[in-house]
Amino acid sequence: MGCGFPSFLGKLLLVPQKRFPKPLSEKEIIARIINSLRSLLYTQKFLFRMFFEGFVVVNCIKQPSSWGAQVR
């Protein structure tokens, strides 16, 4: 998750209180945390996939002799 995670959770809990004058129920807070964690997970998966595919492409470019024979 990294060191930015606790501040992310802190922001998540602070923002709803500013936006809504009434206090949120526990269910609403938990739902918000789960939703944002889910979106965070999706973005991390996406970034990892982009990084991995980029890594594979770079390796193909770096070693055309070993990869080229397999691809063709």
pLDDT in tens, 15-27: 555 555 566 688 8
Residues 28-67: tens digit of each pLDDT: 888 888 888 888 888 888 888 888 888 877 777 666 555 5
Report, in angstroms and rounded to the nearest whole number, the Rg of the chain calculated over CA atoms: 21
- CB neighbours of 17 closer than 8 A, spacing ≥ 6? 23, 24
Helical residues (DSSP H) of 1-72, grouped into ranges: 5-19, 26-62, 64-71
- Number of domain units in the chain: 1
Domain hosting 12: range is 5-71
Residue type, 18: K
> Token pair of 67, please?
């990869």
Pairwise CA distance, residues 67 & 18, whole Å: 55
